[in-house]
Structure 1
Amino acid sequence: MTASSPPTSPPPPSSITAPCAESARATTRKAALSPMYLCDSHLHTKYSFDADQGKGGEVLACCEAALAKGLNEISFTDHYEVDFTNTGIFDAYDADAAQRDIFEAKERYRGRLKIHYGIEIGQPLNDPEHAKAFVESRPFDYIICSHHSTTRGLDFCFFKFDEMSPALFDYYFADYLDTYRQMIELPYIMTASHLTYPVRYAKKGGLDVDLKKFYPTFEAIFRRMIERNVPLEVNTSGLRQGLGFTLPDYDILSLYRACGGKLLTVGSDAHTAEHIGFGFEEVYGKLKAIGFDAVTAFDNKQIKQILI
């Protein structure tokens, strides 16, 4: 989608703050940006194995869509599923082509759209050495870590939740959260993605799940994330997929805030250009209502806070 008169990005924030991961992680300061400064920190292109080819997954198409929707900043975070991509179960990630296209876009849209070259590392704990070697092999600006499956098992998207009991879901979800808790210790993690990922597919399958019993586990995860200065992602995909809530939902985000959490990235998890930035203004309003005054982004792998 091409904007006839693309908006001009406001000046970049002048205050760059705490480095990510195992660096100093000093206290962040807020960059005084416009309340309408919109940053999509999670989106995919045709280079993700699950991209719907032919539906606007070209890097340039994504950039044009972002401009048309009034976004100021985006991060390309294609999938690299450590266990499945590395073994050939999923299509190979064309790292050279993706890097080339994204760096060309950075130059083409300089001054109009801030673009980050990122990656979504899935299941990094299933092959930690390979995951670490991969993220160090490319000049990534931004690294999302995520977990999509049971321990060395299938992605939750393949589960038959319509045939699953709530007790079995609880068993799998507890296992998932245990792995998630280990994942946030990784030295290169910059954002922990879609905390309640399995719920996306459980709800689609008609399974009614009760997450309140997991609040103590969520709280333990949040407190460790806060200690390490690892942001939590608000993934808006559930809003466009008919779930009616973000991942995690606002109740869990309120728990995060009650634990003292302040670092939140917002990502559409778009796999086509049309879904970039989906629901962001609504989400910003909701976040403000539950006590957040900023969202998080990165410059040169350093945290910056954007006022909402």
Structure 2
Amino acid sequence: MHDNHIHSKFSTDSHMDAEEACKKAVETGLKGLVFTDHVDYDFPDFDESFLIDYNEYFSFFSKLKDKWASKLEVLIGVEMGFQPHVVDKINNIVNQFDFDFVINSVHIIEHKDPYNGTFFVGKTQQQAYERYLQEILCSVNAYDNYDIIGHIGYVARYGNFQDKPLRYKDYSDIIDEILKAVIEKGKGIELNTSGLRSDLGCTIPGYDVVKRYFELGGEVITVGSDSHFAEHLGHSFCEAFEHLKSIGFKHVVHFEKRKPVFEKI
């Protein structure tokens, strides 16, 4: 299968060499890699390092794609960090370049970063998670120039709470709103395995949310490791595919030229 969510050195928080990633992917038995490096406009303490030179980006990955064509499918994606006031900038870039795949992710809420804890100050766990989900719902409806919603439940990785996971039963109303809006718009969600490498101990979103997505009629689902290191490529994919099959999914998806390609599990 494809690993649909990985970060190379083009992302400021990653040191993964793209060439090394390709070597590791072939060794691991992956069919393809989708490089989805970060772009977060107006990040807290923003500087130009949070942006990408897309001419350089496409030149680099086009050459890599050609080099590995006989062994591995290399696809060019991007992970766009949503904030309501940067939608025009996101659309401008996505319209200019021929990405295979665009992830719409919420990393920053109220111009505060869950990663460093500032977002959680003055909020209970319930308040923090609900506010985060509200921002995801906003992102789903704010524009259409994306393919899937990234890592629903990302916020749970960083809260200093004893019981971290964001569970469907605790936020069912707003999660249903999100999933129904995703399905109505013809978009998808991802199953992100990075949480299994952390003290969160579950995928993002959890299988309970994925099950509800399936029950509501959702069919478009990608699987990604969110790797920033080559050794994490394809992490826990066998487990993820087994869970998806047990839920009822018969296919997973990757995108080529912004079109979904369904692969039988």
Q: TM-score of the superposition, structure 2-length normalised?
A: 0.91
Structure 2 residue matching 1:244: 3-state secondary structure: coil
- Asked if 1:154 is matched to 2:112, the reply is yes
In the TM superposition, 1:77-116 aligns within 5 A as: 77-84=36-43, 87-88=46-47, 90-116=49-75
* Identity across matched positions, percent: 29
Does the CA contact (< 8 Å) of 1:124 and 1:145 recur in 2? no
Gaps of 5+ in 1: 1-37
Paired with 2:68 and 2:48, the residues of 1 have a C-alpha distance of: 35
Look up the match of 2:125: 169
Structure 1 residue matching 2:10: 3-state secondary structure: coil
Look up the match of 2:81: 122
Structure 1 residue 94 displacement after superposition: 3.5
Paired with 1:146 and 1:244, the residues of 2 have a C-alpha distance of: 21
Structure 2 residue matching 1:84: 3-state secondary structure: coil
Q: Which residue, out of 119, 132, 137, partners 1:181?
A: 137
Paired with 2:179 and 2:206, the residues of 1 have a C-alpha distance of: 14
Runs of 4+ aligned residues of structure 1 deviating over 3 Å after TM superposition are: 89-92
Higher helix share: 2
Q: Which residue, out of 203, 219, 222, partners 2:176?
A: 219
Paired with 1:270 and 1:142, the residues of 2 have a C-alpha distance of: 16
- Asked if 1:235 is matched to 2:192, the reply is yes
- Asked if 1:264 is matched to 2:221, the reply is yes
Q: Which moved more, 1:184-193 or 1:73-82?
A: 184-193
Deviations 1:172-231 (A, max 9, x none): 3222212211212322111100010101112xx343256323111111111111111111
- Asked if 1:41 is matched to 2:4, the reply is yes
Say if 1:181 and 1:292 are closer, same or farther in 2 by CA, change over 3 A. Answer: same
Q: Which residue, out of 153, 162, 165, partners 1:207?
A: 162
Say if 1:63 and 1:124 are closer, same or farther in 2 by CA, change over 3 A. Answer: farther
Paired with 2:174 and 2:51, the residues of 1 have a C-alpha distance of: 35
Structure 1 residue matching 2:42: 3-state secondary structure: helix
Computing the radius of gyration over CA atoms, which structure comes out larger, 1 or 2? 1
Q: Which residue, out of 247, 271, 281, partners 2:238?
A: 281
RMSD, aligned CA:
2.1
Structure 1 residue matching 2:22: 3-state secondary structure: helix
How many residues are aligned here? 262
Deviations 1:248-273 (A, max 9, x none): 01111111112121211001000111
Does the CA contact (< 8 Å) of 1:150 and 1:176 recur in 2? yes
Q: Which has the higher contact order (CA 8 A, sep 6+)?
A: 1
Does the CA contact (< 8 Å) of 2:38 and 2:50 recur in 1? no
